[in-house]
Structure 1
Amino acid sequence: MSLTPEQKKHYRTIGHKLNPILMIAGKGLTENIQLEADRMLEDHELIKIKLAVGDREVKKAITRELCEIVEAELVQEIGNVALLYRKSTNPDPKLSNLLRQAHS
């Protein structure tokens, strides 16, 4: 699954208003972080994560690894924040950032 430039632009617009809901810090990519990211993507489809670890290369490596593990697509990476997308199998209109955006 690869996002088109148009989809990425649309998701970045939605993501701009989102606050980070997951923080990856000193312990790095723990199993709990992976499970939480998986659950959040299932609920919200589009999530913002904050990385408070090492330098730029470490952040990029952790973001790539997390995307692979939870089968998410990286939409955008700016500074300490990354925006991830994964289509939900059964999106909840009350939780999905994409569906809520469409109805607001």
Structure 2
Amino acid sequence: MIKTKRLKESYIMSYLSMYSNDPKLNVWHLSILTAILGLGYRQGQRRRIKVSRSKIMELSHVNTLPTYHKYFKQLQDLGYLEYFPSYHPERRSEVKLRRNKPS
């Protein structure tokens, strides 16, 4: 069990290291990405993470929709994540994190 937890933590650290070394990312990007990684850790998911806008906003401390949408969209455009919306009321949307640094 401890080995599995270490694996997940090292996996998260590799993502955080990649994010923090990219000069194109600002504090808002990093906050949103960190919130998504935190959700993935709690769910036991590595790449495909169930999300909701309200939960990401809460965890990232982004308080306005325009700010959230702007930086979330930029993360998609930069290739850091793929977003799979769900319009079903009982299913959450998903975010897929990219493993490699986008070019």
Shorter-normalised TM range? 0.3 to 0.5
Taking CA–CA contacts closer than 8 Å with sequence separation of 6 or more, which of the two structures ends up with the larger relative contact order?
1
Using the size of structure 1 for normalisation, the TM-score is: 0.34
Which structure: greater helix fraction? 2
Using the size of structure 2 for normalisation, the TM-score is: 0.34
Which structure: greater strand fraction? 1
